[in-house]
Amino acid sequence: MADTSNCLSLPFIQPSQAQKHVTHNEALRILDVLTQLAVLTDDQTVPPATPTEGDRHIVGDAPTGAWAGHGGQLTMFENGLWQYFTPKPGWRAYVTGRDALVVHDGSDWMDLDSDDLQDIAAFGIGMSSLPSAPFSAKLNGALWTALYAADGGDGNMISTVNKETSGGDAGFVFQQDFGTRALFGLFGSDNLRLATSANGTDFRDGLVVDAATGVVAQPNLPRFKGVTNFDNYTAPNVWTTIAINAAEFNDQGVLDAGSNQFVAPVAGSYLFGAALTFKENTSDQAQLGARLLLNGTDVLAGSLAEVTGPHVSERTNLQTQTMALLSAGDTVELQGRLRGVDGYFMAGRTSFWGFKVG
């Protein structure tokens, strides 16, 4: 059986030992010195002239007098003598004389908040650091603030996230229960990218800023433009839904060619427009009208338009445009009317378009 403990060298009571209280009291004395460790100084090299019983110090470099040869050791004044303890790596002490926390790295004491704290392999706050994230923190708030000019700084606060190559990643990853839900930064290229994911695997870009031009793209913005690919016949004085059945583009699949309707994928503000070209049947005296209909019943304010008088077939064009605040699932369709006589809305030159603006 060993005589002392491994870490603090506390003496063990041996079998059949006499005066066991001496060994026990010695162990308590060492514990009293080393636990909840606080010292008065850590840079003093000369013992104080009138120490108080129980005073503790970390002996400074190249000490003299009674401390000679004990540089870097922990010492306590007890029973009129200085007792010495050799520190081990990881020991920490609070230095009351200068309001500092120090740690022993195996060879020397150093401030935990000083410039001497360098090349740390891992650091955790409120948790053990993760292998993939050597700096890890578990907390409910974090603040980065500029060092004000009055405190010796320049008042600015700049954080830098750097990557090695253009094809690498530099940015912020936002997670829910450690499942990625959003990315913001330079991922896979030098373009600034904002992307989201519902499952942490499939990502959709909401915003991309081209690094070379600064042009902003919204790759998944709900937007469409469609035309009719046949002449739509319209009886006189009847509002008729135009068959917008050929999409020039249809991001997010918002134009349903089967129902000839735009279907809002999400709530928001949308801008719509349409152009209708008249093609006569038996007369050019029709009055050309257009409107946008919400959910099959309500006319969108600002969309009702009409051109009166005779028209030139295949040339007279009527345009309308308006904005609408929609809920997810709302529909918008283009309708046309010929007042007085029948006719057609011309193929290829009658179109309907829209996109989300907010």
**Averaged pLDDT for residues 298-302:** 97
Q: How many domains does the chain have?
A: 3
Whether residues 209 and 230 fall in one domain: no
Provide the pLDDT for residue 116: 54
**What residues make up the domain containing 49?**
36-111
Whether residues 296 and 228 fall in one domain: yes
Per the model's pLDDT, the better-predicted residue between 232 and 113 turns out to be 232
Provide the pLDDT for residue 45: 95
Question: If we measure between CA atoms, which residue out of 274, 210, 219 comes closest to residue 244?
Answer: 274
Whether residues 339 and 265 fall in one domain: yes
Whether residues 242 and 299 fall in one domain: yes
Provide the pLDDT for residue 91: 86
Residue 173 inside a domain? The answer is yes
Provide the pLDDT for residue 117: 57
Residue found by looking up tokens 């063990």 in the block = 12
Question: If we measure between CA atoms, which residue out of 112, 96, 115 comes closest to residue 104?
Answer: 112
Spatial distance between the Cα atoms of 119 and 280, rounded to a whole number of angstroms: 83
**Averaged pLDDT for residues 185-206:** 96
| Adjacent-strand bridge partners of 81 | 78
DSSP letter string, 295-352: TTTEEPTT--EEE-S---TTT-EEEEEEEEEE-TT-EEEEEEEEESS-EEEPTTS-EE
User: Given pLDDT bands bounded at 50, 70 and 90, which one contains residue 16?
Assistant: low
pTM assigned to the model: 0.63
Q: Name 245's Cβ contacts closer than 8 Å, sequence gap at least 6.
A: 226, 228, 229, 257, 260
**Averaged pLDDT for residues 258-272:** 97
Whether residues 207 and 252 fall in one domain: no
Residue 287 inside a domain? The answer is yes
Query: Which tens digit of pLDDT belongs to each residue from 72-126?
Result: 999 989 889 998 988 989 888 999 999 889 999 999 998 886 555 567 788 899 9
Whether residues 191 and 237 fall in one domain: no
Asked which of 52-61, 169-178, 267-276 is least confident by mean pLDDT, the reply is 52-61
Whether residues 296 and 259 fall in one domain: yes
User: Given pLDDT bands bounded at 50, 70 and 90, which one contains residue 48?
Assistant: very high
Provide the pLDDT for residue 76: 87
